[in-house]
Amino acid sequence: MSWNEEFLSILASFGSTIPEPIEYRIHYNDSGNITACSMIQHPENTQYLIVDSTIYENYFRYRVNITKKILEKIDINLGISVKLKKSTHGYAVVKNHAGLILDTGEEFDKVEYYDTDH
C-alpha cells in the first residue's frame, strides 16, 4: 500500500465531521432594542429572533416589534450630506489625507483644500 492510500485509509477511519449549522440570532430586550447578536455559543435566557446572514450583518438598521415579534427596518437619517471636491479654498486638510481637517490657525507643511460643489 502506498503512503497516499494509507493516508486516505486512516483519514476515512475518522469518519466525516459535519459542522454545526450556523443559526443567526438577534437578541433583544423588552423595549425591542437589540442587545446582542450571535451565530454560535448563543446566550441563554434571552429573547431572540432567527434571521438570515444579510439581516445579521445589518442588525443596526432594525429594531424588534415586540408585539408582533418581527424586525422592523428603522429610518437612519444621517443628516445633510454635501459632496466636497478639491478646490483652492474651503476646508484645509492635510495633503493626501482629506479626513484630517485642519482647524483655523492650525498649520501643516502640505495642505490642500476641499469645498462644496457650487
Residue 77 pLDDT:
75
Residue 13 pLDDT:
81
Residue 118 pLDDT:
60
Distance CA 28, CA 38 (A): 11
Residue 68 pLDDT:
93
| DSSP single-letter state for residue 77 | -
Q: Report how far Cα 2 is from the mean position of its chain's Cα atoms.
A: 49
Q: Are 53 and 21 in contact (CB under 8 A)?
A: no
Can you tell me whether residue 7 is helix, strand or coil? helix
Distance CA 94, CA 15 (A): 60
Residue 34 pLDDT:
92
Tens digits of pLDDT across the chain (118 residues): 788 888 888 878 877 777 778 999 999 999 999 999 999 889 988 999 999 999 999 999 999 998 999 999 988 777 777 788 899 988 899 999 888 989 988 888 999 999 987 6
Amino acid at 95: K
